[in-house]
Amino acid sequence: MTINGSCFCGTVKYRIEGKLRDARSCHCSMCRKAFSAQASAYALVDPNEFVWISGESLLTSYESNNGASLQFCSKCGSTLCGTYKGNIHGVTLGCVEGDPQLTLDRHIFVGSKATWEIIPEGVPQYTEWPPEKEMEKE
Q: Tell me: the pLDDT tens digits for 49-106?
A: 999 999 999 999 998 777 789 999 999 999 999 998 889 999 999 999 999 999 888 8
Which has the closest alpha carbon to 71: 97, 62, 57? Answer: 62
pLDDT in tens, 47-60: 999 999 999 999 99
- 3-state secondary structure labels for all residues of 70-106: EEEECCCCCEEEEEECCEEEEEEHHHEECCCCCCCCE
Are 89 and 76 spatial neighbours (Cβ–Cβ below 8 Å)? no
CATH number assigned to the domain with residue range 2-135, chosen from the 4 options 3.40.50.300, 2.170.150.70, 3.40.50.10490, 3.30.2320.80: 2.170.150.70
3-state class (DSSP) for residue 46: coil
Contacts of 1 (CB under 8 A, 6+ apart): 17, 18, 19, 101
pLDDT value, residue 10: 97
Average pLDDT, the chain: 88
pLDDT value, residue 132: 57
Are 68 and 51 spatial neighbours (Cβ–Cβ below 8 Å)? no
Q: Mean pLDDT highest for which of 7-16, 76-85, 106-115?
A: 7-16
Q: Is the pLDDT of residue 138 over 50?
A: no
Distance (Å, whole) CA 86 – CA 58? 17
Distance (Å, whole) CA 15 – CA 117? 32
Confidence of residue 136 (pLDDT cuts 50, 70, 90): very low
Q: Is the pLDDT of residue 126 over 90?
A: no
